Amino acid sequence: MNTETLDIQTVSTTPFTDQRPGTSGLRKSVVDFQKPHYLENFIQAIFNSLDGCAGKTLVVGGDGRYYNRHAVQIILKMAAANGLAKIILGQGGILSTPAASCVIRKHKTDGGIILSASHNPGGPKGDFGVKFNISNGGPAPEKVTEAIFARSKELQSYKILSCPDIDIDTIGTVQVGAMQLQVIDSVDDYQQLVESVFDFDQIYALIKGGSFRMCFDAMHAVTGPYGHAIFEKRLGAPAGTVIAGKILEDFGGGHPDPNLTYAHDLVEILFGKDAPDFGAASDGDGDRNMILGRNFFVTPSDSIALMTANHKLIPAYSKGIAGVARSMPTSRAADRVAAKMGIKCYETPTGWKFFGNLMDAGLANLCGEESFGSGADHIREKDGVWSILFWLNILAARKESVADIVKKHWQEYGRNYYSRHDYEEVDSEKAHDLMEKLDANLASMKGKKFGSRTVDFADDFSYTDPVDQSVAKNQGIRIHFTDESRMVFRLSGTGTRGATIRLYLESLELDAAKQGLDAQVALKELIDIADEVSQLKALTGRDKPTVIT
């Protein structure tokens, strides 16, 4: 379609006051985004923050949730009206978040707009999100998101091309007004990248050998096409290895968060009779992952530690890595590996953007978060399929089971018993009251005894970026004990209703004879101490967490 002769409309509007992007962009309910001018205002604010659109190229794609296709049409028409030179679009408006980062970097674009609310539910009553990624492929840093917010508050109009809906399903290049639109295969660029990282021939031999079986749960989210193309077609896994592989606008009514609670179908398969050797799941936009062995769950904190310990088995990292980075709430299992291997381990606030500077500066190659995210410097986002391929490469090289690999790791480095308790949709006022009361008591905690444990230090985590010296304050309350156990309290910014209180619990066990306990049993005293310290149950009225991982 050549729409060069069609009109550009300038539509009058008024600012919305609630369009400040968080660490993962602007995330709201679909109903919010459906308000007249709401999406258009935010897209125009992004364009206005670019210091001129002429000559710029952006990548656009999303996770296929409800409202994705409609939003793509609006963005394309607005991009053409605002004078962008080119948009690279995933076929059908589909790009996983890792694939979008890959395409931005490969094609050296000026950034990208990613449409997703990540692991939040979809559908007409679900959530939607818009995130801007910069030219390195990573999430926009705070100075960029604040500039977008500033533009949103002063907006008086937006520009949009008046034309019929554009064909977004046919691969190829067309003109939209004066702008070039290139529709690309959603998987190809990403698959080429991961094939350059891992030993696909070795993984293929493992899968085609006949004795190894795997199951990948795409949760009716964006990684279905990636799973079919990479695991089944390229690596030889039989048809049916990918379950819930069709992208559905409401994710099949499920919650596309790959954890033991929401990925229950996969959990039942891996903990059932005649279970496969390996199981994995990814989330709504493909940046998170869960790893399972037969009757065995690998915590995300252990996963990044195992990746670090085994990185030389992977072709791209066989010559060694400069460092590893983890978010502050993530267990310190990776720290123990890094110390033994003589590499640096960085502790950052939660949010993948904090890893970007470290990777750009060559200080860290592997990164991980306890919230089921891990990735590396091949892109600037966490990456679910990459993480699964990393594990498959380890399994192919070591020829041991998932459980045996993890247990041997614990024997060498110690087991960091770890769990996260989420209290979701808590009344915001009550949640903030809890955090304020905790903060007020931090100064007096050092030396206090709780049960068998003595407080070593307590603080509100602050981070100074070693690259640009920027400071991020108030990143979560930490209470460390002298026996290397700890607890962390944070308010999450990823929900759209109320507040989510996250409680993180960690305890180190060096005695191999005591490393086989259920994590909730091993952490029972810490769980009780956390409630005593915070009065969490009393202040929130909740007698148990919504989700335990």
84-134 pLDDT, tens digit each: 999 999 999 999 999 999 999 999 999 999 999 999 999 999 999 999 999
DSSP output for 154-179: T--EEEEE--PPP--SS-EEEEETTE
Task: Report residue 531: phi and psi, to 5°.
Answer: -70, -40
Contacts of 139 (CB under 8 A, 6+ apart): 23, 24, 25, 131, 132, 133, 351, 352, 353, 356, 380, 381
Helices (H), 241-352: 264-270, 300-309, 333-341
- Look at residues 417, 415, 414 and name the one whose alpha carbon lies nearest to residue 506: 417
Position 2 scores a pLDDT of: 52
Catalytic residue among 24, 49, 116, 118: 118
Tokens representing 87?
């948009």
Burial (CB < 10 A; 0-12, 13-18, 19+), residue 164, is: exposed
pLDDT of residue 3: 46
Clarify whether 401 is annotated catalytic.
Answer: no
Sequence-distant (6+) residues with CB within 8 A of 181 are 76, 86, 87, 89, 166, 173, 174, 175
What are all long-range contacts of 522-531, with beta carbons under 8 Å and residues at least 24 apart? 522/417, 523/417, 523/418, 523/419, 525/451, 525/452, 525/453, 526/453, 526/485, 526/487, 527/421, 528/451, 529/450, 529/451, 529/453, 529/487, 530/487, 530/489, 530/503, 530/505
pLDDT digits (tens, 9 = 90+) for 296-319: 999 999 999 999 999 999 999 999
Q: How high is the mean pLDDT in each 10-residue block of the chain (549 residues)?
A: 70 97 91 98 97 94 98 98 97 98 98 96 96 95 94 97 96 96 98 98 94 97 98 97 98 94 96 97 97 97 98 98 97 97 96 90 96 96 98 98 98 96 90 93 95 95 93 94 96 72 96 95 96 90 88
Chain centre to alpha carbon of residue 215: 21
**All domains in the chain, ordered by first residue:** 8-186 (3.40.120.10), 190-413 (3.40.120.10), 415-548 (3.30.310.50)
Q: At what angle do helices 142-153 and 38-48 cross, to 10 degrees?
A: 120
Select from 45, 41, 18 the least CA-distant residue to 29. Answer: 18
Residue spans of alpha helices (H) in 50-141? 68-81, 97-106
pTM for the model: 0.94
Closest CA to 370 of 308, 462, 302: 302
Q: What sign has the CA pseudo-torsion 222, 228, 234, 235?
A: positive
**Is residue 492 helix, strand or coil?**
strand
**Which among 361, 379, 366, 285 has a CA at the least distance from the CA of 330?**
366
**Residues 547, 425, 150: CA angle, nearest 5 degrees:** 120
Q: What is the pLDDT of residues 29-40, one digit of tens each?
A: 999 999 999 999
Tokens (6 digits) for 11: 């539509």
Average pLDDT, whole number, for the chain? 95
Give strand ranges (E) for 261-407: 278-282, 289-293, 296-298, 323-327, 344-348, 366-369, 373-376
Strand partners, 464: 471
Q: d(Cα 359, Cα 322) in Å, to the nearest integer?
A: 10
Q: Identify the H or E element spanning 522.
A: helix 519-522
